[in-house]
Structure 1
């Protein structure tokens, strides 16, 4: 009985050994002989395999640039596959796999870029930034080799920039194909020059405009020849030099609006643009006694103080004469503050009422100190009317004026 068991165990071991030997023989029908799995772009890449018998296999290759099937050269039970140059000249991982084989055999080849860059691709933006240290521009650098592959990660790139009398250089390392650096704005406005260098290869020069930051609050002033409300002279409003918080003068062409509030609460508006930080704007004097409160705004950014501007009455009295059945109404002479004839263009309003109902308003401007209105009989029939004349803030009323 023991002898039977002994022969049974021996037979079972022989079967297992035979099966394992068959498996080993099958799995070793093709094996990789090449040990190198790292190459530099441009190198000739060859994979060599040992085959147990003269069998024709193919090699499937794939990377980010494309895929292909390579046919072998068979010599003395060895298969040699030459990787096409269009795949071997691109850095990255090249995956391969034997096809048409009873066993699955595959692997990866790592293709490294050349370490010496041939060109430097450089990008910079934005091309301008606000002074003050809060805004920044970003420089992106991509050093590439002769086959247009970005050089290896952790390669050194020097970023250099010059501003006014300051020159600085900083070293960055490439990561995931690129190197980049944020360059923050200085406190002063001006122009910054930026360049980069890698392994002795220099990029071209880039310019960045450092613009003044947003303006701070400012003051306003006035200039005028006299303070009389003659409706003719010009008052000039102007600002102090508008700067940002670092005393940089704001950009030329900045738009400043002057808001004027009169006695009645009405709003007048005039505007100017800055030149060397100062904005000027002009407005005609009112033609009657008035008080203005003026405030300027750098819209959405800053504002000025409020100033009060007083205008004196220029005309104390004027005459009104009627002729031609009261239909011709002559106003004048209109004399200014030195008894001189007031400049042409003073506005005169004539209002016509009938039974206390306004039926017409007529407007004219003075010429040589006078203005004449004519009430046409085809429009204004013979009747009693109330006439109100107003100019230079002086109102005169004529009740029950008969037209015939």
Structure 2
């Protein structure tokens, strides 16, 4: 009979506890060969969303600039800081502003948390816009990535709305009048404009109902929707073959063949008459690398860069907090949040076209672009000549909006009159 194996002692189990915990979490050791790299990507919960191999072109910083990852990491920072801020915030018109003051002077690291949340929110709006520009100017919305582009447009709109709903929560003069102006733009929509405005505010003016609705949307409804769409967005990237890249053509590979002495008494097939080198079509060099560690290192670098930028901004600049709300003393001019200043500027020329018509046309064009531009030429290339018309139209819309934002920020004074910022 075989001798029974003696179970390890308690001391042995205690000594091996760290190693056992590590191996229970990570079934594979750090990979050292291709098989282990593949196994790590398949078996790790956090890595299985990545493909085993990625195209080298998608890792070039100048191609993607990490903008999609930056957007995601900024969203994570917003979630973490937002949850921490919820412990101290009360969505009440009588307490909200006082809680902002508490974050400044009473709560440990309160002002730093609010700074991180504020600058991450503004940064996410800007980075998402840049990410959309990158996708458009590289033709990455084309087949088979049409639906993922639509999801990206929806995420862009939700990012704007999420930042807009959070803008009201400090309940100071800046927040109150910015939301008053922003929601008044929605009222310019024909037929349903006033109903949309009332649905957002819960009243005829910005007050307790509006603050509560914006709070619920900001901390619960919108984050859940964004999280769901981000998950689908990442999943579709995998299913659509990864990030876009220039089309790779087959490279003929020359293979040398020795001359054959022909015999008159033998029958030859067609291949028997081949002389010298011939080309073997279909062989292309493997232009991919393993996701571990190449993609993981790139993602870690983008995360550190994003976090460092937000930490630096949060230490250098405090989030603005003006006087408490005073409905009897509106600022002149009252301005919408900076990302809606382009709309406010257009509204000053035409209420309907500036507030409803042109923005609606622009959004519909964005949603329909991949289904209208069906040519496959120019995918994966910045500003490809084959896409000159589409790039020109998109760039025109972009430049006009940026110009209007600059005008609304620096060149509009009391009564929305033109002023010189240098006086």
User: If the length of structure 1 is used for normalisation, what is the TM-score?
Assistant: 0.17
Higher relative contact order (CA 8 A, sep 6+): 2
Higher share of residues assigned helix: 2
Higher share of residues assigned strand: 1
If you compute each CA radius of gyration, which structure gives the higher value, 1 or 2? 1
User: If the length of structure 2 is used for normalisation, what is the TM-score?
Assistant: 0.16
